[in-house]
Amino acid sequence: MELYEYSAHELSEMLADSKVSSEELTKSVLCRAKATDDKIGAYITICEENAIEKAREVDKKRGKEPLHPLAGIPIGIKDNISTKGILTTCASKMLYNYVPPFDAFVMKKINSADMVITGKLNMDEFAMGSSTENSYFKKTHNPHNLECVPGGSSGGSAAAVSAGSAVVSLGSDTGGSIRMPAAYCGVVGLKPTYGSVSRYGLVAFASSLDQIGPLARNVRDAAMLYSLICGYDSMDATSQQREYPNFAELLNGEVKGLKIGIPEEYYGEGVDNSVKETVLNAVKELEKQGAEIVNISLPSTKYALNAYYIISSAEASSNLARFDGVKYGYRTEEFTDLTDMYEKTRSEGFGDEVKRRIMLGTFVLSSGFFDAYYKKAKLVAFDICKEFNEAFQKCDVIATPATPATAFKLGENIGDPTKMYAADICTVTVNIAGLPAVSMPCGKVNGMPVGLQFIGQKFSEQTLLNTAYAIEQLNGEIKPAEL
């Protein structure tokens, strides 16, 4: 096996036992990235020199001082997470030349653990999309079928891990942007409880929904990375001050007595029968191990997609107002006055999908339409939260498909926004309610991965990871896709 094929927890032991150096490992991953990225397009920026230099520093430290278990492990970072001194574009022309003067909170955690940053990963522009076709720079392809999308908006993060061009990665999830690409690319993706991972330094899309989380090829690696990045941050007003366990050390895969809820709304019209069957078969395997299956209902789910796109677009229209060509990023070359500069800069700097959502968000917040749309969407959000709370009186976790179908072809839905948005139907409720959820590979349909989503109560990540680990014990850890 090549070094890039090993998991983070295996590599951690190999590094600790001096069976391999971080420099050797980093060069293996970078070589894989350079060999595959012409086909996949996972990276916007590859930090080859900095990565090798950092790996050498870690190798010099090893044996002289205590190191974090993830020290020396290569990691890819979604390009909407601020990295000091490294280009951070949000896959947009608007930030094509932006180099942040500060690190995001999660990057301080990554750097304190001496992880090796291989580069910044492609995404849908400003995290708006479900296919990573909305990037200004390139389209990302699914490693399992290069004619298919990797999902979005964290498509580069999932594709890099799936292909072996990153051992683990960070993504962000506003309505499924970690879990959908994880499902499409056949990797593990965790959307943590809102407030458990600081959003400081994450370029905002929808502030009440955004959450940073890990992607990995197995549950233990995802748990290790989540244990590193979670925690309180005074720079984030929504950050929760509480104690977090070492999630990786507590993994046991024990599901005896666990009550798994099956919501009828997630298995009805619009969900591919083969995906439904694959997911339910995986859940039945847990039932054989002692889990109890409970039928539940979440009736407001049918309104969730509409509510999500109203709320997220409204917040986006506010958050993206800061990109105006004045302080940083793109500025139009020809303009007559300040207003003309604003208009031309934003017209030229933003892509079609971003403009679409800004216009939608501005509309639903405008006088005369606020009560008719935004206020009603927030009432739906309240109902969704209430229904989840009632459901968790009957079960410990909820099992659903992560996506209604397997990955679709590149270009198939790009001209039909409503069809593209429908791909988020299984994931958006989690963000609206601020809950944790994990997408776990559970099989394939026509050669393409299927993701099983487990949803839990707030701060129940350990239960979710244990449940996903039970599935992994049955199916085995994922190896990089063959290209």
Domain ranges across the chain: 3-257+437-475
| Alpha-carbon span 225 to 247, nearest angstrom | 9
Question: What pLDDT sits at residue 269?
Answer: 87
Burial of 327 (0-12, 13-18, 19+ CB in 10 A): exposed
Q: Which residue out of 82, 131, 172, 177 is catalytically annotated?
A: 177
Question: What pLDDT sits at residue 250?
Answer: 97
* The two three-digit tokens of residue 35, written as one number: 């060999």
Is 58 within 8 Å of 22 (Cβ atoms)?
Answer: yes
Active-site residue, 288 included: no
What share of the chain has pLDDT > 70, as a percent? 100
Residue 364, H or E segment: helix 352-365
pLDDT one-digit tens code per residue, 185-244: 999 999 999 999 999 999 999 999 999 999 999 999 999 999 999 999 999 999 999 999
Q: What is the mean pLDDT of the chain?
A: 97
Topology given in CATH for the domain delimited by 3-257+437-475: Amidase signature (AS) enzymes (3.90.1300)
Phi/psi of residue 477, each to 5°? Answer: -70, 155
Spell 19-39 as b/e; 16+ CB within 10 A means b: eebbbebbbbbbebbeebbee
Q: Which residue out of 28, 153, 165, 196 is catalytically annotated?
A: 153
Question: What pLDDT sits at residue 7?
Answer: 98
* The two three-digit tokens of residue 265, written as one number: 């709304």
Strand ordering across the sheet containing 211-216: 43-46, 116-121, 74-78, 168-173, 211-216, 188-191, 437-445, 448-456, 397-401, 259-263, 292-296
Cα angle 428, 431, 128 (rounded to 5 degrees) comes to 65
Spell 154-174 as b/e; 16+ CB within 10 A means b: bbbbbbbbbbbbbbbbbbbbb
Question: Is residue 368 over pLDDT 90?
Answer: no
Active-site residue, 208 included: no
pLDDT tier at 146 (50, 70, 90 boundaries)?
very high
Question: What pLDDT sits at residue 93?
Answer: 98
| Arithmetic mean of pLDDT, 153-169 | 98
Is 312 within 8 Å of 357 (Cβ atoms)?
Answer: yes
Question: Is residue 482 over pLDDT 90?
Answer: no
| Alpha-carbon span 209 to 361, nearest angstrom | 15
From first CA to last CA, the distance across the chain in angstroms is 15
pLDDT one-digit tens code per residue, 100-115: 999 999 999 999 999 9
| Alpha-carbon span 296 to 341, nearest angstrom | 54
Burial of 17 (0-12, 13-18, 19+ CB in 10 A): exposed
Distances (CA, A) of 150 to 40, 109, 275, 449: 9, 27, 17, 11
DSSP letter string, 51-89: HHHHHHHHHHHBTTB---TTTT-EEEEETTB--TTS---
pLDDT one-digit tens code per residue, 420-470: 998 999 999 999 999 999 999 999 999 999 999 999 999 999 999 999 999
Nearest one of 481, 449, 401, 440 to 191, comparing CA atoms:
440
* The two three-digit tokens of residue 224, written as one number: 């290790």
Question: What pLDDT sits at residue 338?
Answer: 96
* The two three-digit tokens of residue 4, written as one number: 């890039």
Question: What pLDDT sits at residue 483?
Answer: 84
Question: What pLDDT sits at residue 225?
Answer: 98
Active-site residue, 177 included: yes
pLDDT tier at 336 (50, 70, 90 boundaries)?
very high
Question: Is residue 38 over pLDDT 90?
Answer: yes
| Arithmetic mean of pLDDT, 16-28 | 98
Q: Which residues contact 283 (CB under 8 A, 6 or more apart)?
A: 260, 262, 291, 293, 399, 452
pLDDT one-digit tens code per residue, 262-296: 999 999 989 999 999 999 999 999 999 999 999 99
Question: What pLDDT sits at residue 232?
Answer: 98
| Arithmetic mean of pLDDT, 290-313 | 97
β-sheet bridge partners, residue 441: 451
